Structure 1
């Protein structure tokens, strides 16, 4: 009788451990899928912005003159790069397997994405300052003022959009940081990481 109870206890413990591991795997899969979905939506947003700017820039460039012509021209050119980045980013995110990363890899990917967004936000400030410099430079004599002013205004607009885009995506991503608590847990010795095999 004693052996049967011990056997039942061990089987119950194994079943409970299996269910807990399955729950941790489900949480990990859900977290990774949410990150991948977010990255894909972000790249679709960037790609949509790029397509609108390319189409608008090319169509309005020929009917405009002065700095406005150069503004539309730069919008189209700038967004060719944005479209390339969006396409490559979407392709990379669509090839990711949400089951491929363990807990540590998931955490690394999550924070890597956030660091990229913050770094890009810093670059975006540089773009806006560069655009401001060009518009100020356009006020000097002996320069192509229309081109400098148009390019400068375009670069400030594009930098401003990218700044907002990167910060919004950073805050969306950092809002999921609390979900990492599902992957990390408290043990009797303190705080630890749940590893699943």
Structure 2
């Protein structure tokens, strides 16, 4: 639970960092999206490193099968999350220097929101799988191991759901600014178009 609390505080930092002025141009909005993602990837990498370290230490310091399985699964999740975080940081660095059209900037903004929404659905799936593993553990060949794995999936799924929800909301706060991004660039929820003034 301490880990989820730390993740929650880190997500609040990302969320509060995404505050913006009422009027911004598309370049500002594009850079803000990149910066929000960059900070989020640092949070995810940190979450991964904490899980790797505590998972390895926890697994090596116990003979309890359930506890060992819990920490082992956390360590594995830590490797995956750290890897995703590092790749995300590399992508953010690369994106900063790219020249992108206004339509491309908005498309990237919409895609990143969609990505976090899909990830949120996957997080619920992880938690559901963990619940199934723990509740049906008594029927398995190794009940203690299944409970350990299941509890880990629940914790990791909950942590990642919190992260993905915070990231989605951080990006969603830009929507109103995108609709006011510039007199020649109109963006709506249903598409992108040019506005011609007569």
TM-score (norm 1): 0.78
* 1:31 maps to which of 14, 29, 45: 29
* 1:47 maps to which of 45, 48, 54: 45
SS state at 1:139 partner: helix
Structure of greater relative contact order (alpha carbons < 8 Å, 6+ residues apart): 2
Distance 1:108 1:98 in 2: 17
Distance 1:134 1:101 in 2: 46
Q: Which residue of 2 aligns with 1:79?
A: 78
Runs of 5+ consecutive residues of structure 1 not aligned to the other structure:
1-25
Q: Which residue of 2 aligns with 1:113?
A: 112
Report the Cα offset of residue 102 of structure 1.
1.6
* 2:169 maps to which of 164, 167, 171: 171
* 1:156 maps to which of 154, 157, 175: 154
Q: Which residue of 2 aligns with 1:147?
A: 145
Matches within 5 A, 1:182-193: 182-185=180-183, 193=194
Report the Cα offset of residue 59 of structure 1.
0.8
SS state at 1:96 partner: helix
SS state at 1:124 partner: helix
Residue 124 (str. 1) matches residue 123 (str. 2):
yes
Compared CA separation, residues 194 and 85, structure 1 to 2 (3 A): farther
| Aligned-CA RMSD value | 2.1
Q: Which residue of 1 aligns with 2:134?
A: 135
Greater C-alpha radius of gyration: 1
Distance 1:192 1:83 in 2: 39
8 Å Cα contact 2:26/2:182 also seen in 1: no
Runs of 5+ consecutive residues of structure 2 not aligned to the other structure:
1-23, 186-191
8 Å Cα contact 1:139/1:145 also seen in 2: yes
Distance 2:172 2:180 in 1: 15
Runs of 4+ off more than 3 Å: 184-187, 191-195
Compared CA separation, residues 155 and 57, structure 1 to 2 (3 A): same
SS state at 2:138 partner: coil
